[in-house]
A = this chain, B = another copy of it.
């Protein structure tokens, strides 16, 4: 694209407030000099922070609002009266074509509901999916859906696979991503009918990905698959369980180092390496869950993201905008529709 990428920022969304968001925009601009920002939130506060952000201050557009979505707001409430909030206005900017993407660290349910209602799904996509990067022993993997859709049919899963593969090509730079469906066994017989049908469809059509069949939850951390496709319920369970287990192991590790003066000394000597381990697992390094499949890009930052974390979320938005992800998804879906087998051929492929 020759146009400069414009990102709409909900400056009131995160736990760190306006200061973190503006500092993150400044940092992101350092990495991507062509980025432009539209800032949604309280003007006086934004101006005060912009005084410390010389790179973006001159070109940033401020759209004032004092109201914001709260973490405790239910999606139904937000849908009724969220339009004037910093989040609602930032989404609206994408719908109106004033911005290419919106980044918010606010209430996930509210962001997904408002974005869905305002932007609507792109042609060929029945439901949007929430995708994010997870750390592995090798490169990061993309996992989707992470909670937008509790129940999914085979078509949804195929669409998620297509979107996840485009995401991996763009953000991870993997030319031909290895894609697998999350299941409770690797054998063809295991799992729900939806999963079996989705596997048959992905096997039947040549798409710009390496379809690997089914993968179990214990393989997520191995990094042998680039894209893990699942319904939102299982995806959310897997993501949260991985987070919890990560905390469990690092918590036990911290206790283990405290057992004696010898282990304390051991900790002191190893702490550089342990810091690298923590950095590898740090959610801020993998920040930016993306809602894919809407007419416009929506990036959700962790609520607790620091400046670097929020800047990473902006970076993800930048990469997806510059790569014209929506067009790529459209092309792959058109290709899929043109070559998808009929029910009889699918029956044969499923054997």
Contacts and interface: CB of A to CB of B under 8 A. Distances in A.
Interface of A: 74, 135-137, 147, 150-151, 182, 184, 187, 189, 191-192, 216-222, 230, 232-234, 236-253, 256-257, 259-260, 262-263, 265-274, 276-277, 280-281
Q: Main secondary structure on chain A at its contact with chain B?
A: helix
A21 to B, nearest CB: 25
State the 10 A-B residue pairs at the shortest beta-carbon distance, nearest first.
A217-B240, A266-B270, A221-B248, A266-B269, A217-B241, A218-B244, A256-B273, A245-B245, A221-B244, A184-B236
8 contacts: A137-B252, A151-B192, A218-B243, A219-B244, A220-B244, A263-B273, A266-B271, A270-B270
Most chain B C-beta atoms within 10 Å of own C-beta, residue among A192, A230, A248:
A248
A238 B217 contact: yes
Contacts of A243: 217-218
Contacts of A281: 249, 252
B249 A236 contact: no
Contacts of A247: 218, 221-222
Contacts of A232: 184
A260 to B, nearest CB: 7
